[in-house]
Chain A
Amino acid sequence: MIKISSLSVRYEKKSNLVLKDIDFHLEEGKIGILIGPNGAGKSTLLKSICGLLPLKEGNIIIDKKPLNEFKPRERAKKIAYVPQILSFEPASVYDTVMLGRLPYFSFVPGQSDHEVVTKTLEELNLLHLKDRNVIQLSGGERQKIAIARALAQQSQIIVFDEPTSNLDIAGEELIASYVEILAKEYKKTVLLAVHDLNLAYRLGDTFLFLKEGKSLGVKDKEGFTPEIIEETFGVNASKIDTEDGSIFIIKGEKR
């Protein structure tokens, strides 16, 4: 469970606030999605939740405990992070996924770490790639490896920063299916920033709309309306209901 109250973030002393007075709440096992234009503060919020930025104003509570009371390794056992730009060095898939076990071992991976990595690779159908050099894999496969690394972390919460931004449609669908599996089968709490509104609507349970660092509201599926999209992005939007679900159509800039 993630609970954020009155969170404000600035990168340097006396600089402008990047996030202003944000409140947000995400229940265990749910998928939360941050929606907003570039520069709205989505990545900053995700990094704050992962403890990657110093917390100075406001509170982030993870499972009833304030985030800044967690030690780094303890926090890593609670929250895993998949960044927007994946950077891998030449190493085997197995060793790359093993990095997810770093919060659990000090010097050398133990038997249980090897078991978790093998099990994770097996469950995600990646075992056949285990000896491959990770930099020789395709974009979609690398995303899978990053997800496997996060899963090997065995944390309750997994945070994705725009996981589909560099992928084609097939890659996007693959990530979408993984996110659903994480929430439904693994009962993980998943929080992600997504640009594609239709994908966001399909996946999410709770939505936080952000604009210029301010929250425009926390909504459920019912509250995900053309009006909130118009307010967030300054575009004309409409919603069409089809047999397979609802889709949003964007029609130019709002005047």
Chain B
Amino acid sequence: MEDFSRAKRKNLTRKTAITFVVLSVLIVVLFFLGLMVGSSNMAFSESFMALFGQGKASAVRIVQQIRLPRLLAALIAGAGLSVSGLIMQSTLKNPMASPSTLGVSNAAVFGANVAIIGFAGGFLSLGNNLSNYSVGANPFATSTIAFIFAMASTLIVLGLCKIRSFSSEIVVLAGIALGTVWTALTTLLQFFATDVGLSAAIIWTFGDLGRATYETDWIMLGVVAISCIVFIVLQWRYNALASGEDVAKSLGIRVGLLRFVSLLLSSLITAVVVSYLGIIGFVGIICPHAMKRIIGNNHKVLIPASIMAGSVLLLFSDLISRLIGNGTVLPIGAITSLLGGPFFLYLIFARKGDKQ
């Protein structure tokens, strides 16, 4: 019996080490593959040289101005959405919690719809003419309004939940309720939209890494990096919370404050990512759960593993979305779910001896 459990324990530690090695290798490989794959059919060596400013000007521009900001966005947004989902699940003790549990994505979508349909992104009334939209639409304004609504939604939910000391059920229910309000408002807005405005608004929600620029990458990196540092600092507190709210409180943890900080930062990550890139669903559910299944629930290893797994999934999805689109880039949000969903089902059902 003792030998068996020792073997199991060794397996778990070895599994953790292997997981980190595999994730690191995948990130590097997928990142470089992503640099080299694209519709312009550049050779591997040409792309690699272009990364360092060598070679043809067009190749340098494609790699440095298009592919690199896009890959950095995949790396950062994937990490952010995944860790945001994990922290939502841990602080709310709800496995179905996701980065948008507080209604953040719904609010961002409404904000973007207001910008695109209401003001055509550039605060202009452009009617039913597509060319006007491409001239007048200001992506920066759309993202800013989306972000404002996403953060407003977060603050409303957190403000309301303060009355009930951030009880996890109340937070989840309040998030769902407010989320449906934003969705209803979006539907009403879309009902009155012109055909072109409606298409533009819907396309915005698809999720597109191509919208990323170095500027947006820096902003996302700042938010994700600071949040991750805070989450890592709080890792022991998340472990304590997993033992129950009463135990956590008896260990001197201010559970309400922990929930407030964690939910605020998780929602901030989601708000920034969704506002800049559109909706990229499921990363925040698949990646943390996959990592929990593989390496266990200790946040000491789970937080870094989820961060890395999110980057891997988004880099991989981006690669696939560019490869199978035959020149067209497919919506990244759909690809993450298409790739992640079956893998997740495999993890849930394929484990031997896990019948509970």
Interface residues of B (CB under 8 A from A): 5, 8-9, 12, 233, 236-237, 239-240, 242-244, 246-247, 249-254, 296-298, 300
Contacts and interface: CB of A to CB of B under 8 A. Distances in A.
A95 B252 contact: no
Interface residues of A, number: 37
Contacts of B243: 86-89, 96, 99
Contacts of B298: 89-92, 95
A181 interface: no
B246 A76 contact: no
B5 A79 contact: no
- Across the A-B interface, the 8 shortest Cβ-Cβ residue pairs: A76-B252, A81-B250, A73-B252, A89-B242, A89-B297, A90-B296, A103-B252, A91-B298
24 contacts: A50-B246, A52-B249, A72-B249, A72-B254, A73-B252, A75-B252, A80-B250, A81-B246, A83-B246, A87-B242, A90-B297, A90-B298, A91-B296, A91-B297, A95-B298, A99-B236, A99-B247, A99-B251, A102-B251, A103-B251, A103-B252, A132-B5, A133-B12, A133-B296
Given A77-B252, A99-B236, A103-B251, 11 more contacts: A50-B246, A52-B250, A80-B250, A81-B246, A83-B247, A90-B296, A92-B298, A99-B239, A99-B240, A99-B243, A107-B236
A143 B305 CA distance: 30
Given A72-B252, A92-B298, A131-B9, A102 B247 contact: no
A137 B242 CA distance: 17
A107 B234 CA distance: 7
B236 A76 contact: no
Contacts of A166: none
Given A75-B252, A76-B251, A99-B243, A136 B8 contact: yes
Contacts of A73: 252
Given A76-B251, A90-B297, A92-B298, A47 B240 contact: no
Contacts of A103: 251-252
A153 interface: yes
Contacts of A74: 252
Contact of B247 (A75, A81, A95, A131): A81
A146 B9 CA distance: 20
A128 to B, nearest CB: 9
A36 interface: no
Main SS at interface, chain B: helix
A95 B298 CA distance: 9
A195 B116 CA distance: 65
Given A89-B297, A90-B298, A133 B9 contact: yes
A102 B240 CA distance: 9
| Residue among A47, A99, A103, A131 with most chain B CB within 10 A | A99
A47 B260 CA distance: 23
Contacts of A75: 252
Interface in A96-111: 96, 98-100, 102-103, 105, 107, 109
A29 interface: no
A226 interface: no
Contacts of B300: 95
A102 B237 contact: yes
Contacts of A81: 246-247, 250
A14 to B, nearest CB: 16
Contacts of A95: 239, 298, 300
A87 B252 contact: no
Contacts of A171: none
Contacts of A79: 250
A51 interface: yes
Contacts of A86: 243
Contacts of B252: 72-77, 102-103
B5 A136 contact: yes
Nearest to B234: A107
Contacts of A96: 243
A137 to B, nearest CB: 9
Contacts of A76: 250-252
A189 to B, nearest CB: 15
A78 B330 CA distance: 59
Given A50-B250, A52-B250, A102 B9 contact: no
Nearest to A73: B252
A90 B240 CA distance: 12
Contacts of A88: 242-243
B26 to A, nearest CB: 24
Contacts of B297: 89-91
A136 B244 CA distance: 18
A99 B300 CA distance: 12
